[in-house]
Structure 1
Amino acid sequence: MSRVKVDCSLYLVTDRKCLEDRDLFQSIEQAIQGGVTMVQLREKSVPTREFLQLAIGVKEITSRYRIPLIINDRLDIALAVDADGLHVGQDDLPLLKARELLGPNKIIGVSASTLAEALLAQFQDADYLGVGAIFSTTTKTDAPEVSLELLELIKKSVSIPVVAIGGINPTNLQQVMATGIDGVSVVSAILAQKDCRLAAKQLKDLISY
């Protein structure tokens, strides 16, 4: 049983399309300064060499601030940069194989959109769940929608941290947190804003309210 403890209260997932002409590394650092507690590097359509270089750069920042770096999907990249963990979806590398290859001391998160998926992930030793999409989102258009009622049921049914994802922003964040979950995962609510530090701080203040 993995015993990795994670603070996933404000979990940033990257999407460079949100940044327009702003720098990814600078934006991530600003977001961490504003209160982000975890960072997931998500690159679905770049060559492996480019993903690796991005991961090296992001790891330098997250290590400096002692914030966990999670790599989305790509076990090889996670191993290559000694990332703190890996996040897998339902169609990615199976959790049991990921745990076997990463070992017991790395963080592994799993996407879930049903209670059955959530319970299985917990049984198979996931460290946290990413549940969504709670609201419609342009950053992941193929994600199934999850109601607030189901989100609350999943949280009550598992003992590992539950993070909500999908269209979460300052106007609906407290509604989501009212379900009792452990944190929110955001993309555009931070990275699409001109001041990533301020955007993160505003979200963190709402979470802590």
Structure 2
Amino acid sequence: MVAPVEAPVEPGLIVFTDRQQAGRPLPELIAMAIDGGVRMVVLREHDLPRRRRLKLAADLRAALDPVGGRLLLEEDPALRKCHDLDSLCAAAADETAAYATLSPIFPTRSKPGYGPPLGLAALARMALAVPIPVYALGGVDNPARVRDCLDEGAAGVAVMGAVMRAEDPARLVKELLNA
């Protein structure tokens, strides 16, 4: 996924939503993640009717605005998912791209059908191949994995399931950001 150049936030952690995995209402969960330090959220929830999704987006924006955070919609035309070097290079060539996510790095419960994990060596090779920051996504669910990704050249990490399923999203976000 690629964000537009005008992105005001250079996140250390990007949280993708998935209310199906959340153990509480999404606005409550995201508010807890914001308390933990998250400043960029990507809204998925494609199955919601348009009005409900717009209301959810407005609620999440209202929670992010006071901390200078940003909400992105996953289907935004400026956003692309990167799963290999070709898609990452295409994202980097896009003049509107400020950064990209690359996935899956590790095995993940959230998206098991995306093929085998790329692994840390591939992350390192691909992150060095492009001039934009690359965020590791997929199975980055603990501080040790965050450190491994950063050591291999990732500018930060993106998570979905680990935060959505966390008993204490604020604590998990703090742990991931402190890594």
TM-score category of the 2 structures, normalised to the smaller one: 0.7 to 0.9
- Give 2:57's aligned amino acid: A
Say whether 1:39 aligns with 2:41. Answer: yes
TM alignment of 1:123-134, pairs within 5 A: 123-125=93-95, 126-134=97-105
Of residues 11, 15, 19, the one that matches 1:8 is 11
Instruction: Work out whether residues 8 and 163 of structure 1, in 8 Å CA contact, stay in contact via their aligned partners in 2.
Output: no
Equivalent residue number for residue 81 of structure 2: 111
Instruction: Work out whether residues 155 and 181 of structure 1, in 8 Å CA contact, stay in contact via their aligned partners in 2.
Output: yes
Of residues 56, 60, 63, the one that matches 2:62 is 60
Q: What is the total number of aligned residue pairs between the two structures? A: 173
Gaps spanning 5+ residues in structure 2: where?
none
Larger relative contact order, structure 1 or 2 (CA cutoff 8 Å, min sep 6): 2
- Give the distance between the partners of 1:132 and 1:51, measured in 2 at CA: 25
Equivalent residue number for residue 174 of structure 1: 147
- Give 1:152's aligned amino acid: A
- Give 1:10's aligned amino acid: L
Instruction: Work out whether residues 136 and 166 of structure 1, in 8 Å CA contact, stay in contact via their aligned partners in 2.
Output: yes
Equivalent residue number for residue 156 of structure 1: 128
- Give 1:167's aligned amino acid: G
Gaps spanning 5+ residues in structure 1: where?
74-85, 87-97, 99-107
Please state whether the residue corresponding to 1:30 is helix, strand or coil: helix
Post-superposition CA distance 1:139-168 (Å, at most 9, x none): 223323322212111111111111110011
After superposing the two structures, state which structure 1 stretch, 170-179 or 195-204, moved more.
Answer: 170-179
Post-superposition CA distance 1:111-154 (Å, at most 9, x none): 11111111111112222111011112222233233222121111
Instruction: Work out whether residues 110 and 128 of structure 1, in 8 Å CA contact, stay in contact via their aligned partners in 2.
Output: no
Equivalent residue number for residue 165 of structure 2: 192
- Give the distance between the partners of 1:4 and 1:68, measured in 2 at CA: 8
Please state whether the residue corresponding to 1:151 is helix, strand or coil: helix
Normalising by structure 1, we get a TM-score of 0.76
Q: Following superposition, which runs of at least 4 residues in structure 1 exceed 3 angstroms of deviation?
A: 1-6
> Residue 5 of structure 1: CA displacement?
5.1
- Give the distance between the partners of 1:169 and 1:2, measured in 2 at CA: 27
Distance 1:202 1:153, change over 3 A: same
After superposing the two structures, state which structure 1 stretch, 43-52 or 136-145, moved more.
Answer: 136-145
Identical pairs, percent: 28
Equivalent residue number for residue 25 of structure 1: 27
Instruction: Work out whether residues 123 and 153 of structure 2, in 8 Å CA contact, stay in contact via their aligned partners in 1.
Output: no
- Give 1:111's aligned amino acid: K
